[in-house]
């Protein structure tokens, strides 16, 4: 069990590192992880929406469908929170790259 949790944490950390570089596939993979609760994380639709939104902005077409699907299960407040978190992520990573 501990090894699977370590590998899950490593996978998420590596996806986050790629996402920080603007990888649309990493954004998408994080969206899938949080929307399905895979890799040992709890389902978090706000977090999933954030990553699908970032992937969509990066031109990842499949993420647009996923974002639309999970939006049906979210409140307007949750969607607004996810959008705010996506903007914050972009601000943070853009500032870091500059």
When mean pLDDT is compared across 3-7, 10-14, 16-20, 37-41, the lowest value belongs to 3-7
Domain span including residue 55:
2-97
Model pLDDT for residues 20-48, shown as the tens digit of each residue: 999 999 999 999 999 999 888 899 999 99
Confidence label for 1 from pLDDT (cuts 50, 70 and 90) = very low
Instruction: Write the burial class of residue 44 (CB in 10 Å: 0-12 exposed, 13-18 middle, 19+ buried).
Output: middle
Model pLDDT for residues 57-93, shown as the tens digit of each residue: 999 999 999 999 999 999 999 999 999 999 999 998 8
Beta-carbon-side half-sphere exposure of residue 65 (alpha carbons within 13 Å): 3
Q: Distance (Å, rounded) from C-alpha 65 to C-alpha 81?
A: 19
Domain count, the chain: 1
Per-residue pLDDT at 2 exceeds 80: no
29-33: long-range contacts, CB 8 A cutoff, minimum separation 24: 31/55, 31/63, 31/66, 31/67, 32/66
């Amino acid at each position: 069990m501990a090894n699977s949790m370590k590998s899950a944490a490593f996978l998420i950390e590596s996806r986050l590192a790629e996402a920080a570089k603007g990888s649309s596939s990493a954004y998408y993979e994080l969206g899938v992880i949080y929307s399905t609760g895979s890799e040992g994380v709890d389902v978090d639709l706000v977090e999933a929406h954030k990553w699908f939104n970032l992937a969509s902005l990066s031109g990842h077409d499949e993420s647009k469908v996923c974002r639309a699907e999970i939006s049906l299960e979210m409140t307007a407040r949750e969607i607004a929170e996810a959008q705010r978190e996506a903007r914050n992520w972009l601000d943070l990573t853009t500032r870091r790259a500059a």
